[in-house]
Amino acid sequence: MKQLGLDFFVRTAKYKYSYNFSALGRPIIQLPQDMVAMQELIWSIKPDLIIETGVARGGSLILSASALALIDYCEAVEGAETLDPLASRRRVIGIDIDIRSHNRQAIESHPLAHKITLIEGSSIDEGTVAQVRALAQGYQCVLVCLDSNHTHAHVLAELDCYAPLVSPGSYCVVFDTIVEDMPADSFPDRPWGVGDNPKTAVHAWLRDHPEFSIDHTIDDKLLLTVAPNGYLRRNA
């Protein structure tokens, strides 16, 4: 079944199948299966901070922000408290080397913009990392999603920068590890490909970081995912 899922992805990738979807009005370049997996993780973990590298059109940020907003709402209802959605500290940090003006405008005008902080700059630049670490101060439960430049070196550097911020029991999700499993000629105009991609970075990084492990139950459940071996759980 996993092979069928991979075959489906390879055959539909040239038609940009993953570009068909949106999250609360913003385009999201993602498979529906991974969108569901992320909302399941967010609901289970209930993070107060989500850090995402790679903004694109903003759909992933909006999806994450909406899940956090629903957690706020449910906690308010369960606690019989007065609901003030603007008072919650839960938020999403989105990092991208180039946030195009029309995408920024659309994100910042969205009703969930109050839950989103945008940072423009390379995700592995020292200044960017320092800014994110400063913003992360005081948060108790942090989830990280890496989905920017997909070369081995860049993802490895992102893991070094952001995985330490992940809370025990939470996850660092590395997207597009599927590149390693695709035909070698799938990305002729990209600097990544078979042997140089997020999955090779994940496997190299995990050798020195036993506090993280691949959650294979997510791969086994999804069958079709852009992040095989990419759902990394922090165990300690």
Complete domains list, the chain, with CATH: 2-234 (3.40.50.150)
Enclosing H/E stretch for 10: helix 2-13
Give the pLDDT confidence score for residue 183 in this predicted structure. 96
pLDDT of res. 198:
98
Residue 229 contacts residue 219 (beta carbons within 8 Å) = yes
> Which residues make Cβ contacts (< 8 Å) with residue 61, sequence separation at least 6?
26, 52, 55, 92, 94, 107, 116
SS3 188: coil
pLDDT at 85: 66
pLDDT of residue 54: 98
Q: Per DSSP, what are the bridge partners of residue 139? A: none
In contact, 199 and 231? CB cutoff 8 Å:
no
- Alpha helices (H) along 46-173: 59-78, 101-108, 126-136, 152-162
Residue with tokens 């294979």: 216
Q: What is the pLDDT of residue 83?
A: 63
Write down the pLDDT at residue 78.
82
Whole-structure pTM value: 0.96
- Note the pLDDT of residue 120: 98
Q: Which residues in the chain land under pLDDT 70?
A: 80-83, 85
